[in-house]
Structure 1
Amino acid sequence: MSTPGQDPTERFPKPDFPQQGQEHPGWTGPMDPPPDHGEDSYRGHGLLKDRKAVVTGGDSGIGRAVALAFAREGADVLITHLDSEEDEARETARLVEDAGRQALTEACDIRDEKQCRALIGSAVQEFGRIDVLVNNAAYQMAQPDGISAISTEQFDRVLRTNLYGMFWLCKMALPHIPAGGSIINTTSVQAYKPSPHLLDYAMTKGAIVTFTQGLAQMLASDGIRVNAVAPGPVWTPLIPATLPDTKEFGKQSPLGRPAQPAEMAPAYVFLASGNASFITGEIVNATGGTPLP
């Protein structure tokens, strides 16, 4: 995917970026610079041939990059999106179909247990099974004034999106994941180095690490692997939609810039593929050099 010898500090745009803001959940189109999902760079090698995958939050950002990469590796993909993100989801579906694979989109607010159940039902009805479940959808909202500014409504939304949805989907999908299948959760550098203005979000990301490691032990004897990816700063629509300052976003990473979604997708492909057959209960840290425990 990368050019041999290419300097990672110069491969993608570096801050300072234009200051920009959007209403949540954010959209790809207005972002400056535009995110790179691997549209022109990702090359598949058949690593996921004929696999059936579900990717939550697949309309944009990391989810779109993962769906694109999975399709180019040979997988059929069902992506979820919020009602307001239908146009974004259609673009992801187009990228999957352009790779010659089946694309399904489903509006699903994973805070709702019934919608999670319906999602798994749709996947099983269309695919017959689920080989890879990627729990990627998440919610955050920065509160620079700290814990006093985090309302119960926000706290509830963060936990229900980031934890309840993941828990329900894993529980509901497991009867349909065969031996050799895998679950991949998206945690964050925030799990280890929490930013004060993202306290509630960081808390959930720490819980995802623990959940991943515990579930991996539970399912090992069934031949189902459970891993997670912990991104550092990534340039997605969630950033201008939830952070007050985008100008220097990612500047704090040792590589001096945020990641592009395309740089996250190979980690998910690896964990979903047979190349990772002896890897379970692990967290792949993709932080741009930020040291983690």
Structure 2
Amino acid sequence: MVEKTTIHPQQQAWPGTEGKMQPPAEFIRPGYRGSDKLKDKVALITGADSGIGRSAAIHFAREGADVAVMYLSEDEDAEETKRLVEAEGRRCTLIAGDIRNADFCRQALEQVIETFGKLNILVNNAGTQAVSKDMTELSDAQWEETFATNMHGMFYLSKAALAYLGEDDIIINTTSINAYIGPEFLIDYSATKGAIVSFTRALSNQVVGRGVRVNAVAPGPVWTPLQPATLGAYDPQMLEDFGAGTPMGRAAQPSELGPCYVFLASLDSSFISGQTLHPNGGTVVNG
């Protein structure tokens, strides 16, 4: 059983870094044993410098995949992810830039092909959120930025990736429990996460006949730099007992999410497409 991690009030400047988090996050369980489920596959993961994305990258590497890490500007965190992937005996390349830019997304895909020669797995994981408890004070700029980061970047990358994905390849999108429960202080974020669920279902229906599967993961509260850089930046007290409202009474560690991405990326999920996994600590959701 995973013990509850005590999280105290804290805050960071956006976009947040792993090195400043207290307590540190866990990315892969010490006893996790790979079994070549992704042997010689190539994965591109956005937001893989830290948090859930880093966990997915390490798990993929332990299962035999090479990894391209896309991130915004957190060079130190990204270098640590690269070190951890390479420690598993796999190759890793870093791609820094803003996924809100369509040209950058296309260039990133081209860089992956130039480096590795192929692409098998795209994980659209990068995202942003900002607290706003009154929609009349939610600025147009914040609304547009949240959609540009969480939704537009996913569209640009998925569109570019389809030129390279074939039979048994996969797109995995990170949505959120917030798409289903709708917290009143995250209206724009929750709206994007609901859009991701619908995008996942529709894109799956469009490409499943080609043998390409499209699925999503909807995490509950997870201890990542996004939390102190957003919730904590608004009010450090929002992180007091973060995750305590789940039936399990705690937040997840990223290490508990990585295996979900392995499952969806591998042929273990060969008859699953257009669906969403719900690692959320026991919260019952519809959909």
Match of 2:248 in 1: 255
State the match for 1:232 in structure 2. 220
1:12 corresponds to: 3
Q: CA distance change for structure 1 residues 31 and 223 in 2, over 3 Å: closer, same or farther? A: same
The count of corresponding residues between Structure 1 and Structure 2 is: 281
1:185-264 equivalence runs, <5 A = 185-243=173-231, 244=235, 245-264=238-257
Instruction: Name the residue aligned to 2:129.
Output: 140
Q: Which position in structure 1 is the counterpart of 2:24? A: 34
Q: Is the 8 A contact 1:51 1:74 kept in 2?
A: yes
Q: Is the 8 A contact 1:129 1:178 kept in 2?
A: no
Query: What is the CA distance between 1:264 and its match in structure 2?
Result: 0.4
1:124 is matched with 113
Equivalent position of 1:21 in the other structure: 11
Residues 113-135 of structure 1 deviation map (CA, whole Å, 9 limit, x = unaligned): 11111111101111222100000
- What SS does structure 1 have at the residue aligned with 2:196? helix
Distance 2:229 2:58 in 1: 23
Amino acid at match of 2:32: Y
Counterpart Cα distance in 1 of 2:134 and 2:281: 26
User: Equivalences for 1:250-289 in 2 at 5 Å?
Assistant: 250-289=243-282
1:68 maps to 58
Matching residue of 2:69: 79
Aligned partners of 1:77 and 1:146: how far apart in 2?
40
Structure 2: tracts of 5 or more residues without a match: none
CA-based RMSD of the aligned residues comes to: 1.0
Q: Give the secondary-structure state (helix, strand or coil) at the position aligned to 1:77.
A: strand
Partner of 1:92: 81
Counterpart for residue 149 of structure 1: 137
Q: What is the alpha-carbon distance in structure 1 between the residues aligned to residue 137 and residue 248 of structure 2?
A: 32
* Partner residue in 2 for 1:4: none
SS of 1:115's partner is: helix
* TM-score (structure 1 length as normaliser): 0.94
- The runs of at least 4 consecutive aligned structure 1 residues that moved more than 4 Å come to none
> Which residue identity does 2:271 align to in structure 1?
F
SS at match of 1:270: helix
Q: Please state how far the C-alpha of 1:42 moved relative to its aligned partner.
A: 2.9
CA contact (8 A) 1:12 1:260 kept: no
SS at match of 2:218: strand
**1:105 aligned partner:** 94
Deviations 1:213-255 (A, max 9, x none): 1111111110000000000000000000000221121010100
Counterpart CA distance in 1 for 2:13 and 2:4 is 23
* CA distance in structure 2 between the partners assigned to 1:138 and 1:250 by the alignment: 19
Task: Measure the CA separation in 2 of the matches of 1:247 and 1:126.
Answer: 43
Q: Report the TM-score, using the length of structure 2 for normalisation.
A: 0.96
Structure 1 position 171 matched with structure 2 position 159: yes
Closer/same/farther in 2, CA of residues 21 and 151 from structure 1, 3 Å limit: same
* Alpha-carbon displacement from aligned partner over 1:5-43 (angstroms, at most 9, x marks no partner): xx3xxx13344x221000011111121111111163432
**How far, CA to CA, are the matches of 2:65 and 2:139 in structure 1?**
41
Query: How many Å separate the matches in 2 of 1:42 and 1:115?
Result: 35
**Worse-superposed segment, 131-140 or 150-159:** 150-159
